[in-house]
Amino acid sequence: MQIKAFSRSLSVILLLVTIFLGSCLSRSPSPCFYALTPIQNQAHSSKSRSGQNAAIGIGPVKLADYLDESQIVTRTSDNQLIKAQFNRWVGSFKDNFINVLADDIGFLLSTERIYLYPWRPSVPIDYQVTVDVVRCDGRLGDAASLEARWSIFKGPEKKLFKISRSSIQEPATGPDYAALVEAQSRTVAKLSQEIAGAIQGAGKK
């Protein structure tokens, strides 16, 4: 009788252990969340010369359809992209991109008068910046890439002042997603520097 009771107890214990191990193995890792950071939060950031407190309108800003994802998209080759299963953006990547771009341009031009599209018709905009992002991704342990077409319109009559295309790469300082997102933040900073420099040039004419 004691042997049978012991056998039953052992069977129950083994069953509980099996259930516990199965639940542990089936449990997914917790996702990690990331966000782009503005230039003033990056090391060695510096302002450009004053933009004379110009009123800057940012937008419309368009992003390639493949970037409209909560999962971080990386490349394994020029023609192959993958979505990270457990590494994601906090909230909308598009909103994050636009807000960081606006913060960077405002910081570089020393102006608080930054307006996101659509703004009220009564707002007097000195320069309007439109951006079409065709690529914003990278390779883990390698580099982040940003390609964008952008235009600047000047004055209330929205006279086209400049059309340009930026192709920017920034090396990743590590093999993980944190390093890649940090590099992506620097690509947005460099795009902002190019746009801010063009606005400064427009102010001299």
Is 112 inside a domain boundary? Answer: yes
Is 119 inside a domain boundary? Answer: yes
Measure the CA–CA gap between 104 and 44, rounded to whole angstroms: 14
Average confidence (pLDDT) over 48-52: 55
In three-state secondary structure terms, 200 is helix
Q: How far apart are the first and last CA of the chain?
A: 101
Percent of the chain with pLDDT over 90: 74
Measure the CA–CA gap between 137 and 198, rounded to whole angstroms: 25
In three-state secondary structure terms, 116 is strand
Q: Quick one: pLDDT at residue 173?
A: 96
Is 7 inside a domain boundary? Answer: no
Is 21 inside a domain boundary? Answer: no
Output the CA torsion sign for 67, 72, 73, 75. Answer: positive
Q: Which residue has the higher pLDDT, 29 or 181?
A: 181
Is 88 inside a domain boundary? Answer: yes
pTM of the model: 0.83
Is 104 inside a domain boundary? Answer: yes
Measure the CA–CA gap between 15 and 12, rounded to whole angstroms: 5
Domains in the chain: how many in total? 1
Q: Quick one: pLDDT at residue 29?
A: 78
Is 138 inside a domain boundary? Answer: yes
Is 169 inside a domain boundary? Answer: yes
User: Per residue in 108-159, pLDDT tens?
Assistant: 999 999 999 999 999 999 999 999 999 999 999 999 999 999 999 999 999 9
* Cβ-proximal residues to 105 (8 Å cutoff; 6+ apart), any chain: 56, 58, 114, 129, 192, 195, 196, 199
What CATH number has the domain bearing residue 76?
3.40.50.10610
pLDDT over threshold 50, residue 203: yes
State the chain's mean pLDDT as an integer: 87
Measure the CA–CA gap between 5 and 1, rounded to whole angstroms: 6
Measure the CA–CA gap between 49 and 4, rounded to whole angstroms: 87
Q: Quick one: pLDDT at residue 48?
A: 54
pLDDT over threshold 70, residue 192: yes
Quote the domain boundaries for residue 117. Answer: 36-203
